[in-house]
Structure 1
Amino acid sequence: MTKRAIIKYSALILLFCAAAFTSCKEKKIEKTEVQKDTVAIGLREALTFYASFDTGVHADFAGGDSLLYTVPNRKALDSSRVGLRKPDITRQEGKGKYGAGLQFTERSEGYIYYPSEGNMAYSRENWHGAISFWLSLDPATDLEQGFCDPIQITDVSYNDAAIWVDFTENNPRDFRLGVIGDRNIWNPDGLEDENDLFLPQLVPVVSPPFAKGKWTHILINFSGLNTEKGEASLYMNGELKGTRPDISDSFTWELNRSNIYLGLSYIGFMDDLSLYNRALTENEIKSLYSLENGVKTILD
């Protein structure tokens, strides 16, 4: 083979390799896009509630009542009023993780909530779900002394058929997940000092990744509640922080009295609240954390 022929042959091989590499790269990109689309479709089908706070305080998407309510006392829900009626809580344009968000500025009386019915996929048998939202605060400097719950979902109280996350009362503050069944089951004797029974049910995170001016993604995942093998997990910024297995206590709600309460004694920002009718996969959780424009992306 002449030198000229060798050069021509080598050039053809290089051209073929380049074409093959480009084709493989395009296929890989196409496969990645298909995977993203599949994840988005799965999340959209599982979505039961979404509040972006971008155009107001009422939900963008809801399987039940989309309205936000304010009530002075949780035992007097008949006195609730539609809308955000607490001066220490405001919707701030451009201050959310995506667009507008809620800002909580002080501890005060009264509560804001969305009704659970239709928005939480509650079931008395084999209950599954997920709760996603973003928080921004410095717990050491922003929070006043005492426990605070950025979100609490229950028909009675934090210690009776409830799902919540909280900050502990003193610095340095831990962040905790509580998925607590019926109180008369786990505390059958009605003990007033119930810490020995209560605290082992929590999933604590020591030195949680919150900081001033920084947004942190929270994902509560649960499955099999109201069975003998319930499970609940806490994810932060797409990473698993802890799991509570073998939750056998029942979760009995008067569904029309159960609500999704926001910002109980919380001081800081909240944005992009979404609820799902099943536990999410690891891939879906990481995708939620990575969405460039929030959950609204999967609704477009």
Structure 2
Amino acid sequence: MFKKTTTALACLMALFYGMAQENTLKESLIFYAPFNESTTAQVAVGDAEIYSASSRKELQNAIKGLEGSNVIFVKDIGLSGGALDFKKKGKPVVFFDAFRNMGYSKESWSGAISFWLQLDPAKDLEPGFCDPIQITDVNYNDASIWVDFTKENPRDFRLGVIGDLELWNPNKIGPDNNPALEKRLVRMKNPPFKRGEWTHIVINFSNLGADSSEYQLYVNGELQGTKKDIGDLFTWEEEKAKIFLGLNYIGLMDELSVFNQPLSAETINMVYKVKSLGLLIEP
């Protein structure tokens, strides 16, 4: 009798704990583009539309949708519906506005970014660095959050959370063999990306712009590394900030979501196992 009661209590506690995690996801979610039926975000505090431009120099001439880009929306190839298919490397860029959709704060900014990729980096990517996601108002090296694949096979997978350029790199030293840049990276060797299999990525960050800053990279529910106390200022002209998708990337992307607080390891693992965030946040 005691054993049955204990087992029932454990199951009940697990149920309540799972419900608490789902409530945290719902309450902290500020942007969600599942790409199930269209490219428009299902949840957005700011603009929900996706945009494309012929290059980063032509952002002021961006248009809604994917026309003119190297990206197509394909139904029924994603985790629970459609997905974005990045066909080739090129100058055209695709993005969502970061204004209000990232919950940015100059003084102390915290949050999380979750998305899924499918590719074989060694076979699918063309030569050069590739940033599946890059969030900035200027460039990768100036108040930016990104993940990238390094430029030579075997490619490493890296998280960069980079503060104001004039403070961390006043001499504007290039990215190759720059110790100041390497100090700010979480690097993963032999990442598990494969064709035919979705890989889950989560970027957690806390207190950006403050001395107590911290950020983490999770891949397939497992922590790959943490950086603490970098203390860079992180300054945006927020109206100019973009969530760039698939810079030089070739492969699939799905289920892009942004939260206004970091996610616990347990919540990240739950999202990884369930696959579609929509199953966790819908009533």
TM range (shorter): over 0.9
The residue aligned with 2:194 is: 211
3-state SS in 1 of match to 2:57: coil
TM-score computed with the length of structure 2 as normaliser = 0.95
Note closer, same or farther for the CA distance 1:223–1:290 as it changes in structure 2 (3 Å cut).
same
Instruction: Check conservation: 1:145, 1:169, Cα contact below 8 A.
Output: yes
1:241 to 224, 228, 239: 224
The residue aligned with 1:14 is: none
Query: Is the deviation greater in 279-288 or in 120-129?
Result: 279-288
The residue aligned with 2:238 is: 255
Identity level (%):
44
Instruction: Check conservation: 1:274, 1:295, Cα contact below 8 A.
Output: no
Q: Tell me how far apart the structure 2 counterparts of residues 192 and 293 of structure 1 sit (CA, whole Å).
A: 38
3-state SS in 2 of match to 1:269: strand
1:134 to 103, 107, 116: 116
The residue aligned with 2:212 is: 229
1:145-184 superposed matches below 5 A:
145-184=127-166
3-state SS in 1 of match to 2:52: strand
1:1-300 superposed matches below 5 A:
17=1, 20-191=2-173, 195-300=178-283
Deviations 1:204-231 (A, max 9, x none): 1000111121111100000011111211
Q: Tell me how far apart the structure 2 counterparts of residues 283 and 125 of structure 1 sit (CA, whole Å).
A: 28
The residue aligned with 1:8 is: none
Instruction: Check conservation: 1:231, 1:244, Cα contact below 8 A.
Output: yes
Instruction: Check conservation: 1:98, 1:294, Cα contact below 8 A.
Output: no
Extract unaligned runs of 5+ from structure 2.
Answer: none
TM-score computed with the length of structure 1 as normaliser = 0.90
Q: Tell me how far apart the structure 1 counterparts of residues 13 and 182 of structure 2 sit (CA, whole Å).
A: 45
Deviations 1:48-107 (A, max 9, x none): 100000010010110111010111222332201011124531112221122211111110
Q: CA deviation at 1:35?
A: 1.0
3-state SS in 1 of match to 2:277: coil
Deviations 1:3-36 (A, max 9, x none): xxxxxxxxxxxxxx3xx54443333222211111
Extract unaligned runs of 5+ from structure 1.
Answer: 1-16
Q: Tell me how far apart the structure 1 counterparts of residues 73 and 266 of structure 2 sit (CA, whole Å).
A: 31
Note closer, same or farther for the CA distance 1:257–1:134 as it changes in structure 2 (3 Å cut).
same
Instruction: Check conservation: 1:98, 1:271, Cα contact below 8 A.
Output: no
Query: Is the deviation greater in 225-234 or in 279-288?
Result: 279-288
Note closer, same or farther for the CA distance 1:292–1:193 as it changes in structure 2 (3 Å cut).
closer
Which structure has more helix as a fraction of its residues?
Answer: 1
The residue aligned with 1:10 is: none
* RMSD, aligned CA: 1.5
3-state SS in 2 of match to 1:75: helix
Q: CA deviation at 1:193?
A: 7.0
Aligned partner of 1:189: which letter?
Answer: N
* Greater radius of gyration (CA): 1
